[in-house]
Amino acid sequence: MPKIASYNGKVDLIENIKISPMSRAFLFSDSVYEVISFYKNKFIDLETHLDRLNHSLNETKISCSIEDCKSEIEKLLNESNFEDGYIYYQVSRGVDSIRSHFFDENDCERFGFIEEFSFFNQLPLKVMLVEDIRWQRCDIKSTSLLGNVLQMNDAKSAGCKEIIMHKNDELTEGGASNIFFVKDKTIFTPKLSSNILPGITRHQVLKIIKDQKLDFEEGSYGIDDLKEASSIWLTSTTKGIVCVEEIVNLETKINSECQLFKICKNAFIKKYFS
């Protein structure tokens, strides 16, 4: 099926959508975004994604009606034939007449597209441990992803599909995912801060961990914690919950038979994908 997209509320084939090169998204990456999954034609946690989009809009002072975003996201799903997949949706500060770092009150610019996707082909990942070279507001889901892009592509040259980042030895998150690890039968995840994205899947997995009454802790952790971990997991809207099979530049004790991973993954699939 041809790919459809939405631009400022108008749905069309993606190749028919024309975007100005004076868009602040194009010139400054002055935009924020969401990736929202749907399964059997139903969104997974749409309202939580909209709350996070609202947070990103407020923190970047982009004025945009969240109701418009919601109806455009819903329209994209309604107008496609896809059963399972995700919607990418971004809001920029709009189109300028001249290029200027300074912004005035302008109309926001909204763009989204829908993609078919199967959530059940996730294999354990080979990852690389890298320095977190990003800005200091990673809680905002900004489209300015150059820090992630550069580090992920270095890792790709070493055969990796993801990275695990650390800032001065403190673990932050994956290139496009959040981190969990298991040590001594307890599940750990870095606590929320301006250095990590408050992942929706992270939130879903934490709810499952609490429902299952498993031991867990949110806090600050370092590379030594990873070395001692018996299992490491990454979570995101498109990956779901996936195991790390190897960190190519770090010796670890991880093994693929982690019982806690199986409990969480099975409960996650049962809750969101059945």
Tell me, rounded to whole angstroms, the distance of Cα 147 from its chain centroid. Answer: 15
Dihedral sign, CA of 60, 66, 69, 74? positive
Least distance CB 129 / ligand PDD (angstroms)? 16
For residue 8, the number of C-alpha atoms closer than 13 Å in the C-beta half-sphere is 12
Among 208, 237, 240, 244, interactor with ligand PDD by CB under 6 A: 237
Least distance CB 151 / ligand PDD (angstroms)? 11
Which of 70, 75, 141, 227 is catalytic? The answer is 141
How many CB atoms are closer than 10 A to CB 130? Answer: 20
- The residue (of 177 and 189) whose beta carbon lies closer to ligand PDD is 177
Q: Judged by CB under 6 A, does residue 151 bind ligand PDD?
A: no
How many CB atoms are closer than 10 A to CB 15? Answer: 9
Q: Letter for the amino acid at 4? A: I
CA distance 172 to 55: 20
* Residue span 180-219 as binding mask against ligand PDD, x where in contact by CB under 6 A, dash where not: -----------------x-xxxx-----------------
Q: Judged by CB under 6 A, does residue 35 bind ligand PDD?
A: yes
Residue 141 annotated in active site: yes
Instruction: Dump strand ranges (E) for the chain.
Output: 4-7, 10-13, 31-39, 42-43, 85-92, 109-116, 125-131, 162-167, 170-174, 178-183, 186-190, 216-219, 231-236, 240-247
Least distance CB 106 / ligand PDD (angstroms)? 25
Least distance CB 104 / ligand PDD (angstroms)? 29
Could you tell me which stretch among 15-23, 122-130, 231-239, 240-248 binds ligand PDD (CB under 6 A)? 231-239
- SS3 assignment, position 210: helix
Q: Judged by CB under 6 A, does residue 238 bind ligand PDD?
A: yes
Q: Judged by CB under 6 A, does residue 236 bind ligand PDD?
A: yes
Structure-token match 């867990």, residue found = 216
Could you tell me which stretch among 14-22, 218-226, 233-241, 253-261 binds ligand PDD (CB under 6 A)? 233-241
CA angle 89, 25, 234 (to 5 degrees): 50
Q: Judged by CB under 6 A, does residue 235 bind ligand PDD?
A: yes
- The residue (of 35 and 63) whose beta carbon lies closer to ligand PDD is 35
Q: Judged by CB under 6 A, does residue 90 bind ligand PDD?
A: no
How many CB atoms are closer than 10 A to CB 38? Answer: 21
Q: Judged by CB under 6 A, does residue 177 bind ligand PDD?
A: yes
Binding site for ligand PDD (CB under 6 A): 35, 173, 176-178, 197, 199-202, 235-238
Q: Which residues are catalytic?
A: 141
